[in-house]
Structure 1
Amino acid sequence: MCGGVKSHGCDVCAKEFVQKGNLKRHMAIHAGVKKHKCDVCGKKFLRKGALNYHIAIHRGIKSHECEVCGKAFVRKGDLETHIAIHVGVKSHECDVCDKKFLRKGGLKNHIAIHGGIKSRECYVCGKEFVRKGDLETHFAIHVGVKSHKCDVCGKYFRKSGNLERHLTDHAGVKSHECDVCGKKFGTNGQVMEHMAIHAGVKSYKCDVCGKYFRRRGDLNRHLAIHAGVKSHKCDVCGKKFLRKGDLKNHIALHGGIKSHECEVCGKEFVRKDDLETHFAIHVGVKSHKCDVCGKKFLRKGDLKNHIAIHGGIKSHECYVCGKEFVRKGDLETHFAIHVGVKSHKCDVCGKKFQRKGDLKNHIAIHAGAKSYKCDVCAKEFVQKPNLVRHITIHVSKKSHK
C-alpha cells in the first residue's frame, strides 16, 4: 500500500515507488514506450486506459444518459455518480464521524482522510494522494488532458480552478490589486502569483526534475516537456510544438509570407509586431520616458525593459531550462535555441541563423572584412573563432621552447 516504504527505486532517475507495478509503468516513460495510439490524432499513450479516456474526449460521445433529467455523460461512472444526486440515498456511513455517502467509493476516500493514508500514487512522478479524484486531476498535467471547457470562448483547461479563474476575465472583474505596481487581477491567487515575480520567489516545483518556477503557468508548460506533449502540429512539415504561439511563428517562417508592409519605405515583415517596431523608427516619436535616467523610448515595452535593467529584476523566465532574463527580447532570443527557429536570414546567400550576432559574423565573411587582429604577428581574420585557433599556434610554440 502507498504511504509506506518506497522500496522500488528507478535505476535511471533514482525516483522511488511503493508499488513495483508503478515503478514498471514509470520505467516505460524513460524507455519512451507508448504503444497505445489514438487513431484520430496519432497521439500515443503508455496505458490503454489513458487512450480510452482520451478518445472519449475526442469524440465527445455522451452515450450514458440520465433517465431522470436527460443529462448525458461520456463515462458510465460519471452517470452513476450523477444519478445518486437524484436518488439521494446515502447508505454508506463513516464509523468515525457518522457522515454518510451516496457511494461506497466516496466513503472509502473519506475514511482515508481520517487516517491520512495516501494510497493513490502517480506512476509518472511518484507523488501520492489521499483521494483518487486528486490523483486524476494531478495526472492530467502529465498527459495534457484538458476536460474543463469555458462556455464563453470554448477554451479548455486541465483543472476546474483554472477555468474558474479564466471566467473572471470574461466577467471583467479585477478586484485584486498588486501593492507594488498596481496591476489588477481577477482572483487573490493570481495577484499572489504575480507578487512572487517582484519578490523573486520560486514556489512552484517540478515533481519530475526538481526545478522551481515563479508562476504556475510556467511550471505547467515545463511539465509538458517531460510528458512529451506537443499538440500543435505544422500542416506543412509535420513538426509539432508545445505552444500554439510557437507553431504560429514557425508557420510564418515556412511560408516566408511577408504580409505586413511599411507605408514609408515599403519594407515587408512576416509579423505585425515587427512592422510596428520598424515603423517607430520613421516616426521618431519617443514619448515613453524613464524616471530614473530620463532616457526616452519609442515604445512602452522598451521603457519597461529598460527600467528592469535599473532594478536588475529578471522577470522573464525560460520555462524549458529556468534561465532568467531582464528583457523579454533576450528571453525570446534564448528560447529560439530550444525550438530551433532561425529567423535571421542572410540577404546574400539565404542562410538562416538563430541569433542576430551570428548573422552579423556571417555577413562579414561575404564582405571580406578582417576585423580580428592577432596581437603577436598582426595577422588579421574575418571571424573571431579563427583568430582564437590561430593564437593557439603561438602558445604551442612558446611551450616547446
Structure 2
Amino acid sequence: MRYFRKENSHDFKFEIDMQAGIKNHKCDICGKSFTRKYVLMRHLDMHGGIKNHKCDTCGKAFSRKGYFKLHLDMHAGVTNHECDICGKAFASKSNLKHHLDKHAGVTNHKCHICGKAFTWKCNLKNHLDRHSGITHHKCDICGKSFTRKYVLMRHLDMHGGIKNHKCDTCGKAFSRKVYFKLHLDMHAGVTNHECDICGKAFASKSNLKHHLDKHAGVTNHKCHICGKAFTWKCNFKNHLDRHSGVTHHKCDVCGKPFKSKGNLKRHLEMHAGIQNHACDICGKAFTQKSDLKLHLYMHASIRNHICEICGKAFIRKYLLERHLDMHASIKNHKCDICGKSFTRKYVLMRHLDMHGGIKNHECDICGKAFSQKVELNLHLEMHAGVTDHKCDICEKTIKSKRALKFHLDMHAGVTNHKCCICGKAISTKGTLKLHLDMHAGVTNHKCDICGKAFIQKSNLNVHLERHAQSQM
C-alpha cells in the first residue's frame, strides 16, 4: 500500500505560501509582513527591545539566537565564508553576500534627499540619521555625538588611549585597524588614489578627497579668534593650539616646544643632521621635503607672492606677510637690553646672541667668529675673493648683495643714520659706529711697528703701506 502526504499538512501549506509569496502575518508597528507567525513574534521582540541573548565577552545583547551565535563566532575568529575575489573571510554567509554586493557595485538603497546610493541598508539608515541630525550615542567625555553605538565605542578607545594595532616598522600604534592598514600601505609605498589635477597619489581615498578639497579652495574650518579658514580639521586644531599656547611635544635637546609629534620628529632629525632630501641641481641637502621644495622654487625663480608696495616677490606667502610687517613698521619683539625692536622673534634672538657675545659661527681659514651665519658666509666670500655684485654707477665690485645696497644708498645720498653728538648724517650704520668711535677717541687698531693707533682698520692699512714703502 502506498501512502501520500496530505496536501493540507502544516509544513506543506507553509512551503506553498512561501513559494507564492503569501505573508499573512503583519506587524502593526512597522507594517512588515511574514509567512510564519513565530517569525512575526521574533520581529516584535526586536521592536520591544527584548534581547535575551547577551555576550559575556563584550556585553552586547541580541534578540535572536542566530545573530548571537554569529557574534560569538566573531569573537572566536570563526570565518568560514571566504570571498573568491579579494580573499576576505566572514563569520556568516549573509555578511559574505553583502560584501559581494559591494564588489559588484550594487547600490539598491538610495537616499531620497541627496540621491546618494548605498550597498547596504544599514549605511543608508546612518546616512539618513545624519540628514535629520539624529545622534543617539553621546560621548560623556567630550560631548561628541554619533549615529551608531559601535562608532561611539571606537571613539571611547581613542579617549582611553587604547591602540591595539602597532606597526612593526616604526612602532606607531593605532586604535583602529583601518588606519593601521593605511599606515602599512604608506610604508609599502601603495598609492592607488591619484589626483586628476596635479597627478599626486595617495594611499587612501579619504586623503585624496582632502587633497581635492584643497584644489577646490574648500575652507570649512574657520577660526573664531582671527577668522583664518582651513581646508583640513587637523590644521585648524593646530592653529587653535597656537592661539592657546598649547605645545604638547618638547625637544629634549634644546627645549623647543612643538604643537605636533610629527613636527618634533622633523626637528630632532635636524639635530641629528639627517638630510635625506637632496637637490638634483646643486646637490644641497635638506632635513625636510618642504625645504627642498622651496629650494627648487628658488632655482626655477618661482616667486608668486608679490608685494604691492615695493614689487618684491617671494616664494612663500608667509615670507610676504613678514615683509609687509616691515613696511607697516610692526615690530612686536623688543630687546630688553638696548630697546631695539624687531618684526620677527628669531631676529631678536640673533640680536640677543650679539649682546651676549655668542659667536657660534667660526671661520675655518682665519678663526674669526660671528654671531650670525650670514655674516660668516660674507666673510668666506671675502677669503674666496668673490665679488659678484657690481655697481652700475661707478662699476665698483662689491663682495655682497647687502654691501652693494649700502653702496647704492651712498650714491643716492641716503643718510638714515644721524650722529647724536654733531648731527652729521651717515649712510650706513657701520659708518655711524666708526664716526661715534672718533668722537669717543676709540683707537682699537694699533700699528705693531711704531705703536700709533687708529679708529678704523682701513686707516691702519694705509699707515702700514707707508711703512712698507719707506723700507724699500
TM-score range, shorter chain: 0.3 to 0.5
Question: TM-score scaled to structure 2, two decimals?
Answer: 0.33
Question: TM-score scaled to structure 1, two decimals?
Answer: 0.37
Structure with more relative contact order (C-alpha pairs < 8 Å, separation 6 or more): 1
Structure showing greater radius of gyration is 2
